[in-house]
Amino acid sequence: MLLVLPPVQANIFLGADTEEAQVRVGCLYPLSGRGGLYGLDSVVGIQVALDWLQLQPVDYPRMQIFIADTRSRPSRTTRLAREFIRKRNARFICGVVNSAIALEVAEVVSSERAFFIGTDHASPRLTKPEVSPYYFRVSNNSRQSMYAAARYIKESFQHSAESPLRISYLGPDYDYGYQMWQDLQQALQLAGVHFSIVTALWPSLYEPDYTPYIEALKQRPSDLIINSLWGGDLVAFIEQGNQASLFQHAPFANFDTGGNYEVLAALKDDMPTGLILSARHHNNWPATDYNRWFVQRFHALSGRYPSYAAQGAFAGILAIAESLRTAGVHASSAEIRAALEGLRLKLPEDPPGFTSYMDPITHQIQQVIAIGHSQPDTSLPPASRLLGDWKVYPPAPLP
C-alpha cells in the first residue's frame, strides 16, 4: 500500500491519536519547491520509523507527530517551530533541511526550552563544543565527511613533499561550500597529505551554466577534482561535464552528497562510472537485513527508493523514542538531555559490529562513512549506477 500524502499546504499528522499520545513532536521540512523531495522522503521515513518501533519487542512511548511545510523560508520555519511548541505542546522539534534556517530554529527552540533533533542539515557550526543544550543531530555533518575524505585521499593517491597532490576544488558560493573547503584543507593537513591547490572555483547556487568553470578546471593539470555541489546543481554540473569530457581530465570526487540516490536516479546512464562519491545513507550499503528492510519498506509505502534524507528522519524519530524510553515520558529536560547524550542507536546505515552513538560534548552523532565508486547497477531503478568498491571509515576524533 502506498502512503498517500495530503496536499502540501496542509499539516500532516502521523502516529498516535491526541487522546493516546504520550509525547508530541513537530517536524519541519520543505514539502514543495526546491528541496521538496527531501521533505517528502522525510515524511515517509518518519512513517517507516513508526512501523519499525511497532515491530520491536519493547514498548516505546506513543508519539503524535505533526509535520508542516516550511517552504524553505526562514521566518515561516521559525514561526512554525514556536507554534508547534506553544499551541501543540510539542516537546521535540525535528527536521530542517537548510543549515542557515536550522541555526535560526535552534535559537528559537532553545529559548522555548524544547529539544531540536536535527535530521538533515550539515553545518558543523551547530555541533561545536559550546553546542546548545537543547540541540542534537542524528546525521553526519559536512566536517565529518571531509575528515573521512582526507583519510580516503591519503590511502588512495600518491603524494610527497617533492610531488604534492594537485587539487582543484569547486563548491557553491555560500557558507556550505566555504566551510567544506576549509574543513577539507584542515583535514588533509592533519592527515599528513602533501597537497597543492591548483584552483578554487565558486559558482552561484542554482547556476544554470557551468561551462566557464568546467573550462577553467580543464585548463590546468590536476591530480584530483573535488566538488561539493549537491542536488540539482550537481546533476547539471555532471551533465555539462560529460559534454565537455571533464571526467577524462582527472579523477573526480564528491565526498558529501555525490552518492545521494536522488542524484544517481536523476542522471541514470549519464552518471559516469569511476567517480569517487559518498552520501549520508546508501541504499545498497551495508548489505544488512536492517538496511534492506528500511529501503524496501520505504519503497512499499512510496513507490520509490529513498534519498539520504529519509534515513535521517527515521533516525530522528528513533532517537526521540529511545531517549524517552530511557528517561521516561514525564522526565525533566535534564534527564532527557542525559539520555540523548548517552544515546546508542542501531540504524540502517550501521555496518555489522557498529552502532551509531552520540558525542556528549558536541551533540553530534558518530557514524561510519563509506566512500565508493560509481559503477553499473540496475537493481534500484531508475538509477542505473550505484556505488561499489567501498572504503569504510569509522568515526575519528575531530579537532
Give the model confidence (pLDDT) of 298-328 as tens digits.
999 999 999 999 999 999 999 999 999 999 9
Q: Are residues 249 and 109 in the same domain?
A: no
Q: What is the rounded distance in angstroms from the CA atom of residue 63 to the CA atom of residue 299?
A: 23
Q: Are residues 126 and 260 in the same domain?
A: no
Per-residue pLDDT of 41-52, as tens digits, reads: 999 999 999 999
Q: Are residues 76 and 184 in the same domain?
A: no
The phi and psi torsions of 198 (rounded to 5 degrees) equal -80, -50
Q: Are residues 136 and 156 in the same domain?
A: no
- Structural domains in the chain (count): 2
Q: Are residues 380 and 241 in the same domain?
A: yes
Strands (E), 202-328: 224-227, 252-254, 276-278
Q: What per-residue confidence (pLDDT) applies to 50?
A: 98
294 is a domain residue: yes
Alpha carbon of residue 363 to chain centroid: 16
Q: What is the rounded distance in angstroms from the CA atom of residue 235 to the CA atom of residue 312?
A: 22
User: What percentage of the chain has pLDDT greater than the value 70?
Assistant: 97
- Mean pLDDT for 358-385 is 97
Q: Are residues 214 and 348 in the same domain?
A: no
174 is a domain residue: yes
Q: Are residues 253 and 298 in the same domain?
A: no
Q: What per-residue confidence (pLDDT) applies to 3?
A: 55
CATH number (domain holding residue 217): 3.40.50.2300
Q: What per-residue confidence (pLDDT) applies to 174?
A: 85
Predicted TM-score (pTM) of this structure: 0.93
Cell of 144: 565529518
User: What percentage of the chain has pLDDT greater than the value 90?
Assistant: 85
Q: How many residues does the chain have?
A: 399
Q: Are residues 228 and 89 in the same domain?
A: no
398 is a domain residue: no
- Reported as a pLDDT band with limits 50, 70 and 90, residue 5 is very low
Q: Answer yes or no: are the C-beta atoms of 281 and 349 closer than 8 Å.
A: yes
Q: Are residues 96 and 30 in the same domain?
A: yes
- Mean pLDDT for 64-77 is 93
pLDDT reading at 7 higher than 70? no
Domain that holds residue 234: 143-279+370-393
Q: Are residues 377 and 363 in the same domain?
A: no
4 is a domain residue: no
3 is a domain residue: no
Q: Are residues 261 and 386 in the same domain?
A: yes
Per-residue pLDDT of 193-243, as tens digits, reads: 999 999 999 999 889 999 999 999 999 999 999 999 998 999 999 999 999
Q: Which residues contact 390 (CB under 8 A, 6 or more apart)?
A: 285, 370, 371, 372
| Residue found by looking up cell 514525564 in the block | 330
